[in-house]
Structure 1
């Protein structure tokens, strides 16, 4: 489709009036001299203003008015891609126990949050069509980011979270409840076409909060929201950093770690989700693949043609040229009347 078109191109035949008008004017201008020499000297008012620019204005007016009647249009073909993804809430544990260094990175031991952070950022990067929000919890739960498709901003928020920002504790039930509230507040008119999930990342058993994990699980099951629980760390004695009163690290000690795997597995099972260990890459990939398998993301492309009428511009210019050439029309009509009298 061309960007410009004429809705009524037949009116362009009016352009044939231009050469006809020029030929008639030339013939009419010669006739008085051939019939009656020096006739113009008898009546000076019979002379027609012969300024060339006036006749140019007449021809331009005819051309512009013919173009306006042909209705020039500009057409814009726009494709609108409508996509549907998922609504996902990440519930991240920031309790002090997440400082345990039972993972090994490229430069040595790393804590549980640093081990999970790349997984989170990769998860966000690979889901460009999803709305993702973040809830962080320790002794209490807070919304760090509401559901958004601005994933660049969301990655900055994930990179900024640190252990110790919240009072120590592990309120898993409250974290789930706040995440469920975030999904419920974002409910739209076509809610059935959008999948909703919660991904819970924690390293311990519930020790604080208003809601217990079973209570929050019951709410998620009632709303049909699967919970994908990811356990960070391992049970047993794990290395833990020691800090002085100024926050400087002074050493490492072994502390017991208690990851309630059974509770997390039950939570995932009752809500239709899955459980995986953060250190088990294959299990994580299977858990995230299960989200995609649960409901297909729908895409559709809609083409819309927008037509803009352009005739007002040549119409206005043609009328202006016509007014400018008014003396020519007066002279032509006067000459025509005199020829009839003759």
Structure 2
């Protein structure tokens, strides 16, 4: 909220300002014209009555009292200036903005099964020992996505062999980020129950009053657990107005894994098996879309694309609230005028 000073009747400036300037010039020139007239009288008609010269008196320096009287009289200029400004009705206005948002409810469905240990998404790091697994890469990207949507409620569903709600829908994104950071591989089992995960997300969204309800599924495999099939889960989501975006993560071909052996940790390569056909059909059923991310940069681009597709509607209405401030000018003008009257009628009084 910002404040600004405006004049409601500023048009008076073009009428009053010239008159004020003329009046001020005449006030300033009046004593000088009197001096010129006095000098003319001194050197006037020779036939006039002779009297002593006043030239020395005219050249006498002005006393402090006379200077003070002149300065007090000059207060009238300031008084009139203040009154003229008051006539233009100064006002202070505050710009008020009302913003109403229509947020989106988003449930992030994240795979924490054993296959998320693969080290293929962190491909820019050449050393396998320094690479992050799929889950750690996904957590960083998802956290950025959450931070970019301050007006939306966000929830987390975690799945492996089982599926459960890690964080309910909330506008407190700090809490959501904390729960996200706590995700660990295997916390829901090593298998992949995609249908159950989408079912839990749909249950979380079914009672939502949001205009748009979205579930974003991130997985790196195919469904091999759970009592609810992925396609049935997608149909249920579509029936309840939930739009599903499915993301398959993992390189094409084989991905490196670090496994513990009797001789210490070893790197092995395993085939990447993502059921893209099922994920695509799930997304299409709900009006969403399927994406494939083969590295961290690709995953970031996918979440950015979803962020652009699912925009929060924000309406903004601005208006000004004004308060009259002419009293700020009238009060000092009255005070200065009274001060002038008192001084010129007492200490600085001019005797006949």
TM-score range, shorter chain: 0.5 to 0.7
TM-score under structure 1 normalisation? 0.58
Aligned match for 2:335, one of 315, 320, 326: 320
- What is the distance in 2 between the residues matched to 1:282 and 1:26? 84
Tell me the SS of whatever aligns to 1:230.
strand
Aligned match for 2:72, one of 54, 65, 81: 54
Structure 2 residue 126 is the aligned partner of structure 1 residue 113: no
What are the equivalent positions in structure 2 for 1:7-18 lying under 5 Å apart?
A: 8-9=12-13, 10-12=15-17, 13=19
- What is the distance in 2 between the residues matched to 1:27 and 1:133? 83
- What is the distance in 2 between the residues matched to 1:289 and 1:155? 19
Post-superposition offset of 1:320:
1.9
Cα deviations by residue, 1:86-130 (Å, 9 ceiling, x for unpaired)? 7654322223331134556132555332554676578679x7898
Cα deviations by residue, 1:47-98 (Å, 9 ceiling, x for unpaired)? xxx8344323333222211211122456789999999997654322223331
- What is the distance in 2 between the residues matched to 1:122 and 1:80? 27
Aligned match for 2:282, one of 253, 259, 267: 267
Aligned equivalent of 1:94: 112
Post-superposition offset of 1:215:
5.7
Aligned length: 300
- What is the distance in 2 between the residues matched to 1:67 and 1:103? 69
Tell me the SS of whatever aligns to 1:51.
helix
Question: Gaps spanning 5+ residues in structure 1: where?
Answer: 29-49
- Greater Cα shift, 321-330 or 16-25: 16-25
What are the equivalent positions in structure 2 for 1:323-338 lying under 5 Å apart?
A: 323-327=338-342
Aligned match for 2:237, one of 220, 223, 233: 220
- What is the distance in 2 between the residues matched to 1:27 and 1:84? 74
Question: Gaps spanning 5+ residues in structure 2: where?
Answer: 35-67
Aligned match for 2:326, one of 311, 318, 329: 311
Structure 2 residue 150 is the aligned partner of structure 1 residue 135: no
8 Å contact from structure 2 (residues 158, 165) kept in 1: yes
TM-score under structure 2 normalisation? 0.57
Cα separation, partners in 2 of 1:101 and 1:60, compared to 1, 3 Å: closer
8 Å contact from structure 1 (residues 81, 302) kept in 2: yes
- What is the distance in 2 between the residues matched to 1:117 and 1:217? 24
Cα separation, partners in 2 of 1:325 and 1:213, compared to 1, 3 Å: farther
Aligned match for 1:277, one of 274, 292, 297: 292
Aligned equivalent of 1:64: 82
Post-superposition offset of 1:180:
6.8
- What is the distance in 2 between the residues matched to 1:293 and 1:59? 62
Tell me the SS of whatever aligns to 1:325.
helix
8 Å contact from structure 1 (residues 146, 182) kept in 2: no
Aligned equivalent of 1:163: 184
- Greater Cα shift, 311-320 or 235-244: 235-244
Cα separation, partners in 2 of 1:164 and 1:57, compared to 1, 3 Å: same
C-alpha RMSD over aligned residues: 5.7
Aligned equivalent of 1:231: 248
